[in-house]
Amino acid sequence: MHMDSLSLQCRPTVTSFSYTCSHKHRKPQPAAPDRHRGTSLALKSLIVFSSLNQKSTTRLKGKAHPLQEPRTQPSGRIMIESDRELSAMVQELWDNDVNRLKPGKDYRISLQGKAGDSMAMSDNNDGAGYPLFTFVDENIFKKETFLAFISLLDNYVSDTGEPEIVTPEEVAENHKFLDAIIQTSTMKIAHKYLVENKLSPKDDTQFKEQLYRIWFELYARRGSSRPDSSGFEHVFVGETRGGRTVIGFHNWIQLYLQEKLGHIDYKGYSVSANSPQPDENKHILALQFSWKDGIKPKGSIFIGVSPEFEFALYTLCFLTSPNERVKVQFNFYDVEIVCHHYNQKHIGTTYPVLLKYRKPTK
């Protein structure tokens, strides 16, 4: 079953670079829905630190990657067996993600209980009495890619069906973010691999144009006749459908910042019979939460990774895996990356699903 039905608009000033949450106090109730850009002041100020001055994508169509062997399930859905070459690439991305946070040191989370199965927003469905994040060292938000990423989070209206209006300032912010990430080791590794496999242009400017089309070009999501969504908005910012359902929203930074502002009500972790039990040191978590007036009954996110790691990973999977699901192994994780496209040109949604965790030996 698809995990997705497939903004941040506030700016408080931060005077401290760490956030702690005392478990002596219950989490704040979700704030009233904010569907207008006018509240965007609170988030961008969240990153204004007092100490700072500061062509269509080439895609494999109708056939699998040469190193992948399709396996047809009884349902007719084509699944991709673990791709060793892609797994090696993801491992290289992981090893070079120098901006990744360490659990227990740079951030701490409190899993608490398992979320209920209902989509209701009642307390009976709430397996967590406190926020998910109890501490994040916000010094990481001063790094260039984090700073550029966070500046994008208030550029969208969350309601699907409401057309997005992109201002020149927002276009400039998109380009500034892409300029920052393509200079990182992780994106350079991904770019080199894509060029070698004739999936991306070698020229950095043309590669950036390709990334812009995949992630930032607007399209009309289901039920809308006008451009109201983009891959970036859906995956990293989150959207609401009908004011009652949260779709997308697969990014830990947005989750943390929105929870800190009181807009997120974490309802507990999600786990199925065949999935690994969650713990607070894993970098992948399935969870349930409410945002504004909507509920995300089950979502899955990386926690603590950098924006450039997720951007590189998801772009690789989008361009190399035409069947939209690929299994990769890296570090201690066996993960299925779900990456649905929109008209073969844009990312519809993408997120990780933890299949297996190999506990490190001491």
Q: Which helix (H) or strand (E) holds 256?
A: helix 252-260
Do 98 and 309 form a contact (C-beta atoms < 8 A)?
A: no
Structure-derived torsion over alpha carbons of residues 94, 343, 239, 217, reported in degrees to the nearest 10: 80
Q: Round to whole Å and give the CA distance between 206 and 210.
A: 6
How far apart are alpha carbons 281 and 152 in whole angstroms? 28
63 CB-near residues (< 8 Å, 6+ apart): 322
Residue found under tokens 């950036």: 208
- Residue 304's Cβ-count burial label (10 Å; 0-12, 13-18, 19+) is buried
In angstroms, the Cα distances linking 118 to 128, 270, 296 are: 15, 12, 10
Q: What are phi and psi of 21, to 5 degrees?
A: -125, 110
Of the listed 234, 260, 282, 341, which one is catalytic? Answer: 234
Is 267 tagged catalytic?
A: no
Answer yes or no: are the C-beta atoms of 23 and 126 closer than 8 Å: no
Annotated catalytic residue, options 44, 208, 250, 341: 250
State the Cα–Cα distance between residues 26 and 281, nearest whole angstrom. Answer: 23
Q: Which of 44, 296, 327, 346 is catalytic?
A: 296
Mention every residue, 6+ apart, whose C-beta is less than 8 A from residue 114. Answer: 127, 268, 269, 270, 271
How far is residue 5's CA from residue 270's CA, in Å, rounded to a whole number?
Answer: 17
296 is catalytic: yes
Q: Looking at the DSSP assignment, which residues form a beta bridge with residue 295?
A: 245, 290
154 close to 48: Cβ distance less than 8 angstroms? no
Active site residue 234: yes
- Six token digits for residue 48: 């204004």
Cβ–Cβ under 8 Å, residues 249 and 260: no
Active site residues: 234, 250, 296
